Chain A
Amino acid sequence: MSEASNPALETPSAVVAKVSLFRRLLRNPTAVAALGFLAVVAVVAVAGSFIAPRDPNLASLQDILRPPGSEYLLGTDGSGRDVLSRLLVATQISIAAAMLALAVALVIGVAGGLLAGYYGRWFDTVSTWLTSLIMALPGIVVLLAARSVLGPSVWLSMAIFGVLLSPAFFRLVYAAVTAVRNELYVDAARVSGLGDGRIIGRHILSVVRAPITIQSAIVTGIAIAIQSGLEFLGLGDLSVPTWGSMLNEGFDNIYREPLLMLWPALAIALTTIALTLFANVMRDEMERTGAKSRRRRKGRDHRPDTSRRRDHPDNPDHTARPEQARHPVVEHPDDPRDADGGLGEDLLRIEDLRVGYHQADGGVAGVVHGIDLRVRRGEVHGLIGESGSGKTQTAFAVLGLLPDGGRVLGGAIRFGGAELAGAGERDYLRVRGRKIGYIPQEPMSNLDPAFTVGSQLVEPLRVTLGLGKKDAVERALALLDRVGIPEPRRTFAAYPHEISGGMAQRVLIAGAVSTDPELLIADEPTTALDVTVQAEVLDLLRDLQEERNMGLLLVTHNFGVVADLCDRVSVMQDGRIVETGPVRAIFRAAEHQYTRSLLEAILDDGEPRGALVRADVKGGVR
């Protein structure tokens, strides 16, 4: 992920993302079929009354219930009216009525949702209350009541139905807007001097556009179904042909001419099905893009950024692989000062480990390209690298916790005589949490908010060590005390949201060492913590590691943390270890260019900026 000379910048991939949603829809056969049918319906709805061969309401007593033929293409109904003409005009009216309902719902729902979500305050309270009220009303009953008061009118009933449907949009827009309102880019737009209208129009509406389209398709389908239902029950205006009223007439003559029911039924069914399918396909396509961006936003290291690799075929990762594979790892000899400390035997030995992720196109994108690594008993081994270097992937591979789609492609992971590469869940049960402990990066998201801290410590103790309840509680309390939690009993009974991030990380460390593991794997254990808390947690990790003579594989991006804790260091870049050796050798005598560039980027020992050079300046922070 070097950003200065990224070849990705020169590839014309921009257009892909921009038009993608619509174009991807066109590539989907279901979407094409649904859109095609809807287009036909739309054309008929617009031109229906012009292309209708006869007057749809012209009754002819001579032509009652004519079968389909050359004179009347689809035959005639019980009053001798041309079915084809009626169907064409009915399409126009039914669709227009559904559109009216949709328009009313859209205007009320979207405008209300935007205002309530963006400005909040009293409007929020009132409109949310009103929405709940409308949602509680039984739609059909309201429509029936409206008909008896206002008379039978397709338009009136659909307008009222639109009001009843508006909460669907209100809720959707409201939720989206409240989520977006506090995004930084909305703040940035405000600071840029944009008015509220522009912010809503450009930044907020663009986010809810696609969900609104989906909801519109669904709502239109519902409007058509309800409207047809009302007309079918004979509650509509009989003077205008609609799909529902045609269905009603067909039903009257079902024994004499069953075909009469077929045409309106087909029209209703196919239109609603097309609308629903369209909504489904669009949702699927959106989720596909959504998943991509979500993945990128969450912990930059947890999942490899495979999407970018795929987008840019000339990513160095692809082209340079064979050449780089031959590039030897710079390996520094053991520090003689460490040797007399009595280094233990190998706990973990990784050989030529390769990790990859399955891609949608069937290929596999590699994220770790054959690394060797070993962690000895009593040794802290630092795995350092920038985001996307594969360091977290390596840790997850050892733990057997690779996210979906990821797997070990080759190589060996030997831990205490067992082979973990490609091992099944059952093999891992014997190792993970018993002999290998894990300390995660985000302390808060790794504690279940629904259970107390204590129960989350006691449960593994009982399962893995087979302790009785009393023993397990005692041991958990002792562990909490050991990791420096001031009042173990109170924390034991607390829920995760009641303790601070630093405390949560101490709890997780207590959990990781509770089963006396031989190896600890810590993935950026202090990255989410404040500096002063980080120092305390590092102290704790060091003490525990020395006290129990554990091996510790420490994944980090911080050279200060490495200097503080590690005995040995491996530097990772683009899924490879480029340099490995004792910590002092890496800091004092780094040979690989990448290691050196990282060390040079450290600001810690840099010169201060110095005072502002201006002769006339006399001021100070008060």
Chain B
Amino acid sequence: MTAEPLLDVRDLDVVYPGKGFRASGFRALNGVSLDILENETVGLVGESGSGKTTLGRAVLGLAPVTAGRIEYRGRDIAHLSRRERRALSSEIQVVFQDPYSSLSPAMTIEQILAEPLTAGGTEGKTARARVAGLLDAVHLPADAGSRLPREFSGGQRQRIAIARALALDPKLIICDEPVSALDLSTQARVLDLFIEIQERNGVAYLFISHDLAVVRHISHRVAVMYRGEIVESGDGDQVTAHPDHPYTQRLLMAAPVPDPDRQEQRRADRHRLLAAQAEADEQAGAAIGIG
């Protein structure tokens, strides 16, 4: 068996059209390349506006791809018709960040979970049985099915969203900041659920987050995005603990350590790093000026 990637993104550009006549568009992604193997978690770290969410949406067919390829099992899925995209729903799924707006407020949990199944042609009875299994898989009680989303806390809603993503037994789940809106202890439990499901069901994650610690916890490999480009990528431990790229270094140093003394140390390190980088930039600028 060869190490054929499950998802292979190559030189992807996404430009959102500008508003109004002849307005220039907004380039959200610029030549992004990334691949994900089966059963693998690739973490995607970046700050707001870095394009990390756009990359996830492009894979899901929710963002306009202007150039480049997105190959899923060797087939380009960047420009699928609606019908072809629907057929792909059993392969690629999503868990969004906001557990409050990602569940339809007027539908019961059972309806939400059964919907992707019945849309794919599963019979009602089979679907209901599957829903019970899904609730169990995300550790929610079986009677949760008859309730509305608003009766659940953020963590529970995120479990429901995970169950919905799992309904069609996909091979790849795009996780767009799935734990960012959750409390600390809930966050840890939901992350463990993600890992548990991965080990049990054999699914790959593109795990998007702004939090290096979260990404480090769940990812096999990590890619760092900055202004629409991937600036650093590689082994999870390497990127999140000993980064090479100046931006990743700044990102790592900016995250406060939950320990007063070590944070004092990190603060000093950060100031030193910033000073060093500023100096390097100045020299680089001077060199360009001379040249």
Given contacts A387-B183, A564-B256, contact A17 B147 (CB under 8 A): yes
Question: Count of A residues near B, CB < 8 Å?
Answer: 83
Say if the beta carbon of A207 comes within 8 Å of chain B.
yes
Q: Is B98 an interface residue (CB 8 A)?
A: yes
Per-position binary interface string of chain A over residues 581-603, scored 1 when its CB falls under 8 Å from any chain B CB and 0 otherwise: 00110010000000001111111
The docked-state distance in angstroms from the alpha carbon of A300 to that of B141 is: 25
> CA–CA, A83 to B259, complex, Å?
89
Q: Complex: how many Å from CA A605 to CA B40?
A: 22
User: Does A192 contact B164, Cβ atoms closer than 8 Å?
Assistant: yes
Q: Which of B18-26, B84-92, B124-132, B280-288 contacts A (4 or more CB under 8 A)?
A: B84-92
A149 at the interface (CB under 8 A from B): no
Q: Does B216 contact A (CB under 8 A)?
A: yes
Assess the B141–A612 pair: CB atoms within 8 A: no
Complex contact B104–A206 (CB within 8 A):
yes
Q: Is A534 an interface residue (CB 8 A)?
A: yes
Tell me if B148 and A18 are in contact (CB < 8 A).
Answer: yes
Q: Is B71 engaged at the interface, CB distance under 8 Å to the other chain?
A: no
Partner pick for B185 among A2, A6, A605, A609, CB 8 A cutoff = A2
- A462 at the B interface (CB under 8 A): no
Instruction: Give chain A residues whose Cβ lies under 8 Å from the Cβ of B98.
Output: 184
Contact with B along A8-22 (1 / 0, CB 8 A): 111011110110000
CB nearest to B97 among chain A residues: A184
B108 pairs with A18, CB closer than 8 A:
yes
Of B88, B183, B255, most buried by chain A (CB within 10 Å of CB) is B183
A27-79 residues with Cβ-Cβ distance < 8 A to B are: none
3 tightest A-B contacts by CB?
A193-B89, A560-B256, A621-B233
Does B81 interact with chain A (Cβ within 8 Å)? no
B208 at the interface (CB under 8 A from A): no
B186 touches A3 (CB 8 A): yes
Question: By the criterion CB–CB under 8 Å, are B148 and A386 in contact?
Answer: no
- Sample (11) of A-B pairs whose CB atoms are under 8 Å apart: A2-B185, A4-B189, A9-B140, A187-B102, A193-B88, A194-B115, A297-B100, A297-B101, A386-B185, A530-B47, A622-B233
Shortest CB distance B281–A (Å): 15
CA gap between A184 and B57 in the complex, in Å: 11
Contacts A184-B102, A583-B260, A608-B241 given; indicate if A601 touches B187 (C-beta within 8 A). Answer: yes
- Does B213 contact A603, Cβ atoms closer than 8 Å? yes
Known: A202-B115, A564-B263, A610-B220. A587 touches B258 (CB 8 A): yes
CA distance A129 to B188 in the complex (A): 52
- Chain A residue, CB-CB nearest to B258: A559
| A184 touching B119 in the complex, CB below 8 Å, given contacts A17-B150, A559-B258, A619-B37 | no
A206 contacts B210, CB within 8 Å?
no
Chain A residue at minimal CB-CB distance from B92 = A191
Are A564 and B267 in touch, CB under 8 angstroms?
A: yes
B107 on the A face (CB < 8 A): yes
Besides the contacts A206-B104, A538-B256, A619-B37, what 19 more A-B pairs have beta carbons closer than 8 Å?
A1-B153, A8-B151, A18-B148, A191-B89, A192-B116, A193-B89, A194-B115, A386-B184, A534-B256, A557-B183, A558-B256, A563-B259, A563-B262, A564-B263, A566-B260, A598-B185, A601-B184, A603-B213, A621-B230
Total A-B Cβ pairs within 8 A:
264
How far in angstroms is the closest Cβ of chain A from B238?
9
**Is A532 within 8 A of B250, CB to CB?**
yes
A188-B161, A621-B42 are contacts. A604–B107 as well, Cβ < 8 Å? no
Cβ-based interface call for B80 (8 A): no
List A contacts of B185 (CB < 8 A). 2, 386, 597-598, 601
B154 interfacial by beta-carbon distance below 8 Å: yes
Interface residue? B156 (CB, 8 A): yes
A562-B258, A609-B219 given; A621·B48 CB < 8 A: no
Query: Is A196 among interface residues, defined by CB-CB distance under 8 A?
Result: yes
Are B216 and A608 neighbours in the complex by a CB distance under 8 Å?
yes
Instruction: Answer whether A3 and B156 are a contact pair too, CB < 8 Å, given A193-B119, A311-B151, A608-B240.
Output: yes
> Which residue on chain B has the smallest CB distance to residue A8?
B151
Q: Which residues of A contact B39 (CB under 8 A)?
A: 612, 614
State whether B106 touches A206 (Cβ < 8 A): yes
Say whether, besides A602-B184, A609-B218, A611-B220, A185 and B168 are in contact (CB < 8 Å): no
